[in-house]
Amino acid sequence: MTTLKVTTVGNSVGVVLPKEILARLRITKGDTLYVLETPDGIELTPYRPDFARQMDLAREVMHENRDVLRNLSE
């Protein structure tokens, strides 16, 4: 478990993410994080939720139609 402290950042407040968390999220200074409210709480992710869902659907279609796609690529 990691504890983060809320601190003043200019006229706002924020949290400082430790290097280990940045590495696990694969983000660096200037990257965008998306905040999602889930049944388990708040989730921070570097991936756009709508894009992630589209990619999941694309993978599903490609898996279901892999033979057709393979034939088209020949």
Give pLDDT tens digits for 24-42.
999 999 999 999 899 999 9
Quote the domain boundaries for residue 65: 6-73
4 CB-side CA count, 13 A: 13
Cα–Cα distance for residue pair 59/62, rounded to 1 Å = 5
* 26 contact partners, CB below 8 Å, separation of at least 6: 46
Domain assignment present for 1: no
Q: In this structure, which amino acid lies at residue 72?
A: L
Higher pLDDT among residues 64 and 14, named by residue: 14
Domain assignment present for 60: yes
Strand partners of residue 34: 45
Confidence of residue 49 (pLDDT cuts 50, 70, 90): confident
Domain assignment present for 26: yes
pTM equals 0.58
Instruction: Kindly tell me if the per-residue pLDDT of 69 is higher than 80.
Output: no
Domain assignment present for 21: yes
Confidence of residue 4 (pLDDT cuts 50, 70, 90): very high
